Amino acid sequence: MKILLKRAYEPWHSDDGYRVLVDRVWPRGVSKEEAAIALWYKDVTPSTLLRKWFSHDPSKWIEFKKRYIEELDERTDAVEEFIKYLKKHDTVTFVYGAKDTEHTHALILKEYIEAKAGQL
């Protein structure tokens, strides 16, 4: 399984494969048709409290990553269920809305899922 990352504001492409929205809130200004989302799985997104604390502040990135991984570690059932969905597809694209492509939870989630998927 190959996992790609793509902003919700970038156009859909057939190479995206199975598109999964990995944000807790729907991206502003993007219609469901434009997004071409196959699955919206909020159970593996950062909690509202963590998301608001981070507020896309790069100076909080290291601590955000630590806290988000701790949240994912606490959601074992949701993570395993998510991986089962993903393993049915050769290519999966995690779709997210953040402008900052270097400090987005989608990067952390990708690394986390790739590591866990290899263990299941």
pLDDT tens figures, 19-30 = 999 999 999 999
Residue 30 has a CB neighbour count (10 Å cut-off) of: 16
**Structural domains counted in the chain:** 1
At 120 the pLDDT is: 57
> Could you read off the pLDDT of 5-56 as tens digits, one per residue?
999 999 999 999 999 999 999 999 999 888 999 999 999 999 999 999 999 9
At 54 the pLDDT is: 97
Name every residue whose Cβ is closer than 8 Å to that of residue 75 and which is 6 or more positions away in sequence.
43, 44
Could you tell me the residue range of the domain that residue 7 belongs to? 2-117
